[in-house]
Structure 1
Amino acid sequence: MKSSRALLLALALSGALSVTAACDDKNTAGDAAPATSAAATSAAAAPQADPRTELVNAFSKLNSAPMAYSTSTESGTLASTKLTGSADPATKANSGTMVITTNGQAINAQVIVLGTDVYMKMSVPLPGIDPKKWMYFDGSKTSLTKLGLGNPDDPANVKGLADAIVTAERTGTGAFKGTIDLTKRKVPESGAALIQQMGDAAKSVPFEAATNADGYLTSFTMTMPAAGQVPATTAKTTFSDFGKPVTITKPAAAEVQPAPAALLAQLG
């Protein structure tokens, strides 16, 4: 049971950190139509778009193609998370590996998300759970952010940040910096509590971002202020392999088991 409690603590902390960057189901930036090649050619001849508009468009393009991603958070010596995987927004599929480290204990997990179906394996024992099988969660009844996950079409929890950008400036070709206002985002209760504890600093969180020649967002880093017992946290996400086919399959029924009720109670 000690391992089980440590697991729940780590998952809860991971989720609390990630939701400060998470968006709700409403994605204003995602509603923008992707630029056509003709428009891109025209834009090349026209004056550069203002930095904020360029970043909003870069976030929007994350809806348009399969990709690989990596996201990490560092909260001093308290905790760190690392999530690496691939996703296909069109099919709402996502798979990855996650490492959560807290209080000197590292927990490894494998995750598959297909629509609202979530499958997970973990490196620590849970009562009544076969560690060789996938635990199944009904994502429609479970908070993915509390699992440290984004929605399957937003695995790194960053797309909804576009409309929270307050200031933005270009620092080089495809390079930007600025600030975001976390209070502009609707987040789950745990994330909202953390944001409230940040005080006015939550309204001016610094970020750095990069885009590639095709206008895709390739990296986004922000440094969130301390919140209660959680120290200042650096969160970094990178995206790559845009358009490369992603194949994510459902585990065989014989390899799946229901998630334990105690864990579901923590994540409902």
Structure 2
Amino acid sequence: MRQRTGTGGRVRRAATAAAALLAATSLAAGCGDDDAQDTPAASSPVPSASPSANPKSTLLAAVPDEEDPAFRFSGSDPTGVVTGVVDPAGKGMDLTLTEKDEKLGFTMKLSFRLIEQRSWMKVSFDGADELSSMLKLPKKWMELDHAKLTDPASVPYYEGADPGNAGAILRAAGDTVTDQGGGTYTGTVDLTHGEHVRQAVADALDVDALGPAAKQVPFTAVVGADGNLTSLTLEIPAAGKNKATKYVVRYFDFGKAPKITAPTGSQAQKAPASAYELLNG
């Protein structure tokens, strides 16, 4: 895994900037409710055979890398849910964050298509279709010029085949990994163990707020019969005013997901000024 802070984290920061602008404007006044939500896709891994001699190495080998075919992923944590497709061969990724504003009564879907250092964005509003025209946002893919962003790093680009940072997290498991059989592995991770793992969860968790508990966060990982990591779940303990929660990454449909291609022709255009206003807040 070579993510710095995680592609999902970048999408959430972009969504936060967009949501801040929407909340500050009167354009959303009177928008109706919409209870539609994207549900993260789940997979049904086939249990693997007998326990492995080196369970940690087995887990790390199962983490997606640049040699894998295109696959789907989903990730959820206290900040929301991200879903998408990763195409390692094409160095591309599609991902969508769905965020509902309970006060204003609409759901924003912020999608990105990434191919190497190029980024396209698409925004839609369920329950408030008029917002797209009122905000002067086209419904097609908008290619972004990172030089026009207040913080270019806040918008994602392709950084590798492990958007959920599973590799960085599992490397912080030390010698605690236990093979439970049937493709299931358990153990604990030390989220304070170096900047790599801290950055992996920085956008989702306040490691310092967890106190001593951050050094032994329980996890469960599942590897399918095809040798691919199917899921990684961290059981985040309660800390201060924060309730206990989970950090979940799922990888599935290896070889079945579509390849990522650049949107062309009538599918795309250069991002207008309104798109940068939305992202820059």
Q: TM-score range by the shorter chain?
A: 0.5 to 0.7
SS of corresponding position for 1:66: coil
Inter-CA distance 188–86: structure 2 relative to 1 (3 Å threshold): closer
- Tell me how far apart the structure 1 counterparts of residues 242 and 220 of structure 2 sit (CA, whole Å): 22
Q: Identify which of structures 1 and 2 has the higher relative contact order when contacts are C-alpha pairs closer than 8 Å and 6+ apart.
A: 2
Q: How far is the alpha carbon of 1:117 from its aligned partner?
A: 1.4
User: Where do 1:45-84 residues align within 5 Å?
Assistant: 48-59=52-63, 61-75=64-78, 80-81=80-81, 83-84=82-83
CA change 1:189–1:219 in 2 (3 A) is closer
Please show how residues 99-114 of structure 1 align to structure 2 within 5 Å.
99-101=98-100, 103=102, 106-114=107-115
Q: Which one of 210, 226, 240 corresponds to residue 214 of structure 1?
A: 226
Structure 1 window deviating more from structure 2 (128-137 vs 162-171): it is 128-137
149, 153, 162: which is aligned to 2:161?
153
Question: Contact (CA 8 Å) 2:191, 2:215: kept in 1 or not?
Answer: yes
Query: Aligned to 2:152, what secondary structure does the other structure show?
Result: coil
Deviation beyond 4 Å, 4+ runs, structure 1: 3-6, 102-105, 138-141, 226-230
Q: Does 1:162 align with 2:174?
A: no
Residue 245 of structure 1 deviates from its aligned partner by 6.3
Structure 1 stretch displaced more, 236-245 or 187-196: 187-196
AA aligned opposite 1:107: M
Point out where structure 1 has 5 or more consecutive residues left out of the alignment: 11-43
Contact kept? 1:62, 1:216, Cα under 8 Å: no
* Unaligned runs of at least 5 residues, structure 2: 1-14, 23-48, 126-130
Give the aligned CA root-mean-square deviation in angstroms. Answer: 3.7
The 5 A counterparts of 1:106-185 are 106-124=107-125, 125=131, 128-138=135-145, 142-143=152-153, 151-166=159-174, 167-184=176-193, 185=197
SS in structure 1 at match of 2:177: strand
Residues 188-224 of structure 1 deviation map (CA, whole Å, 9 limit, x = unaligned): 8964982222222222111111112232111111122
Aligned equivalents of 1:217, 1:114: Cα separation in 2: 23
Cα offsets for 1:213-268 (capped at 9, x unmatched): 232111111122346665433122222222346321212265223363444446xx
Correspondence for 1:240 among 252, 256, 264: 252
SS at structure 1 position matched to 2:53: coil
Kindly state the Cα deviation for residue 169 of structure 1 after the two structures are TM-superposed: 0.9
1:14 aligns with: none
Aligned residue for 1:251?
263
- Amino acid of the structure 2 residue aligned with 1:134: W
Contact 1:99 1:107 in 2 (8 A): yes
Pick aligned residue for 2:199 from 173, 180, 187: 187
**Partners in 2 of 1:227 and 1:265 — Cα distance?**
32
Distance 1:102 1:202 in 2: 31
CA separation of 1:196/1:67 partners in 2, compared to 1, >3 Å: closer, same or farther?
Answer: same
Q: Which letter maps to 1:53?
A: S
SS at match of 2:89: helix
Number of residue equivalences: 223
Residue by residue over 1:152-187, the C-alpha shift from the partner in whole angstroms, topping out at 9 and shown as x without a partner, is 532333232231123211122211111112223251
Partner Cα distance (2:203, 2:184) in 1? 28
